[in-house]
Structure 1
């Protein structure tokens, strides 16, 4: 009989590609992961894994079993959701995660609203970036995460994660107050092609949004400074060291020396914000509160 924990190890091996990576994700030793995978292979009666260079990948039979493992995980999530609904959402805890501005704009207000409607339900919030939040969600370390549009987002039919769109947040140009375009009502992104840029760090979803927007405007930004924290980025802009893009919901927060202007052009860059939950989970009090608050912004 196949055990759920071995199917979970198979899922993580597929996601990580190596025994060591799966072991780190599951807080196990590599030898324990290897032993459990060997047992699973014997239970299945067919080879589930094959070596591909220095990595392991699933055989065709392993891919078949993976689909069933994903389906079992989703069904278990449905069972948890049904049990939570049975309790009417009045008890329990939801562990949420999101990047800093998602906490400020969405998670914190939604959690505050939930305290009024479900005073016995606890919400635990952690700061975590999109590229880290999704694996934590799959592993069950978080129950709901707010993420932004990124190449790392799962497809709509992903068997493990369900995305619920919360809102569309346009990007605006943040310019030094004395910039040549600071007096314009709107700024064409293409007009900033020759500028020095302040950009989020590589590998982040915010960096993807900025670079994709510039490419659509016909240029590659000349990135001189890196800062993922928006207050740090705006400080660099205020000192005249470059320009940047900033989500409209964040704005400049009154940063002295910074002028924020809406962008114009055929395709204004935006970031899409989603609530991500495990496939099979139903509506929860926090998810409902998040959607309700996002609709007011």
Structure 2
């Protein structure tokens, strides 16, 4: 009989594209992956991997078995979901992915509540951007991801996933306290046409959104600095080095020397949870979504929040 763990290892190689990447995805060593695959080849009497330059590729037999493994593992997950649903309790392990400001702004409270309300559920947080977490959910490496898109730039969600809205997060413009617009109660993006901008790094979803939005406002952006963390962006602004878009969720205290001002035509991030449809019946998934929504209410939806101290 084929061993389920070895099938899972083969499927990981197929979806990640290499033994080392599969090892990272499975949180084991490359040696452990190689040993599992060697045992699987002995069990099947077939060569499943072949050398391909400095790496490996799946043979025809390997691809065939990996396709079966995908269906088998999906069926196993459905069985686990049904058993968990029959028991009616959130139990076992749940891996949660979230982008940084959600990880900071929602998850400390949500995870504490989840532990208190469901003591038999072991939840684990992985901080990752949406372009990492969505594929991780599809692969099965993450059970539920908290992701975002913007009011004018949707995030593509593959078939086979379910999503549920959590909140809309308002974004303001952050600027040095010495900026001519710093004392305004509301601003228009067009008023920053002559400013230098602090942005998220190139290639990130939010950087692409910023370019799209500024150009839509008739601004050809001059990006002078790029930083992934919002706290770093605000520190650069405090030093007088540019302006930035500053979402409210997880923003924390505003540094002295920085002012945040709402935009007349409100900019919003849509934040939602996403999980695999074949896990939809799992009480642990439902418990996590309920706790996240309760946390949004407890902390005060960012949509209704004040811009912050100035």
Q: Same fold (TM over 0.5)?
A: yes
Q: Is the 8 A contact 1:156 1:163 kept in 2?
A: no
SS at match of 2:185: coil
SS at match of 2:159: coil
Shift in Å at residue 255 of structure 1?
Answer: 1.3
1:210 aligns with 2:210: yes
SS at match of 1:155: coil
SS at match of 1:149: strand
What residue in structure 1 maps to residue 237 of structure 2? 237
Shift in Å at residue 9 of structure 1?
Answer: 7.7
Q: Is the 8 A contact 1:188 1:264 kept in 2?
A: yes
Taking the aligned partners of 2:155 and 2:35, their CA distance within structure 1 comes to: 30
What residue in structure 2 maps to residue 157 of structure 1? 159
Taking the aligned partners of 1:218 and 1:11, their CA distance within structure 2 comes to: 47
Residues 170 and 152 of structure 1, relative CA distance in 2, 3 Å threshold: closer
Taking the aligned partners of 1:121 and 1:4, their CA distance within structure 2 comes to: 23
Q: Is the 8 A contact 1:164 1:276 kept in 2?
A: yes
Provide, for residues 40-74 of structure 1, a one-character-per-residue CA deviation record: whole Å limited to 9, x for no partner.
Answer: xxx9xxxxxxxxxxxx9xxxxx9x99998766654
Greater shift in the superposed pair: 70-79 or 180-189: 70-79
CA-based RMSD of the aligned residues comes to: 4.1
Taking the aligned partners of 1:23 and 1:258, their CA distance within structure 2 comes to: 44
Residues 141 and 251 of structure 1, relative CA distance in 2, 3 Å threshold: closer
Residues 83 and 14 of structure 1, relative CA distance in 2, 3 Å threshold: same
Q: For structure 2, which runs of at least 5 residues remain unmatched after alignment?
A: 47-56, 58-62, 302-310
Residues 116 and 273 of structure 1, relative CA distance in 2, 3 Å threshold: same
Shift in Å at residue 230 of structure 1?
Answer: 0.9
Greater shift in the superposed pair: 190-199 or 127-136: 127-136
Taking the aligned partners of 1:34 and 1:99, their CA distance within structure 2 comes to: 33
Q: TM-score, normalised by structure 2?
A: 0.72
Q: TM-score, normalised by structure 1?
A: 0.74
Q: For structure 1, which runs of at least 5 residues remain unmatched after alignment?
A: 44-55, 57-61
What residue in structure 2 maps to residue 134 of structure 1? 134
Equivalent residues in 2 for 1:10-49, closer than 5 Å: 25=25
Residues 12 and 111 of structure 1, relative CA distance in 2, 3 Å threshold: same
SS at match of 2:106: helix
What residue in structure 1 maps to residue 116 of structure 2? 116
1:292 aligns with 2:294: yes
Provide, for residues 178-211 of structure 1, a one-character-per-residue CA deviation record: whole Å limited to 9, x for no partner.
Answer: 1111121111112112211111112223323322
Taking the aligned partners of 2:129 and 2:157, their CA distance within structure 1 comes to: 19
Taking the aligned partners of 1:218 and 1:8, their CA distance within structure 2 comes to: 50
SS at match of 1:187: coil
Aligned residues: 289
Taking the aligned partners of 1:232 and 1:280, their CA distance within structure 2 comes to: 39
Taking the aligned partners of 1:76 and 1:238, their CA distance within structure 2 comes to: 52
Taking the aligned partners of 1:116 and 1:107, their CA distance within structure 2 comes to: 14
Taking the aligned partners of 2:154 and 2:13, their CA distance within structure 1 comes to: 18
Q: Is the 8 A contact 2:6 2:37 kept in 1?
A: no
Taking the aligned partners of 1:220 and 1:12, their CA distance within structure 2 comes to: 43
SS at match of 1:280: helix
What residue in structure 2 maps to residue 48 of structure 1? none
Shift in Å at residue 247 of structure 1?
Answer: 0.6
Q: Is the 8 A contact 1:23 1:33 kept in 2?
A: no
Taking the aligned partners of 1:198 and 1:206, their CA distance within structure 2 comes to: 12
Q: Is the 8 A contact 2:10 2:37 kept in 1?
A: no
SS at match of 1:148: strand
Q: Is the 8 A contact 1:209 1:270 kept in 2?
A: no
Taking the aligned partners of 2:96 and 2:147, their CA distance within structure 1 comes to: 11
Taking the aligned partners of 1:206 and 1:183, their CA distance within structure 2 comes to: 27
What residue in structure 2 maps to residue 271 of structure 1? 269
Taking the aligned partners of 1:120 and 1:66, their CA distance within structure 2 comes to: 33
SS at match of 1:157: coil
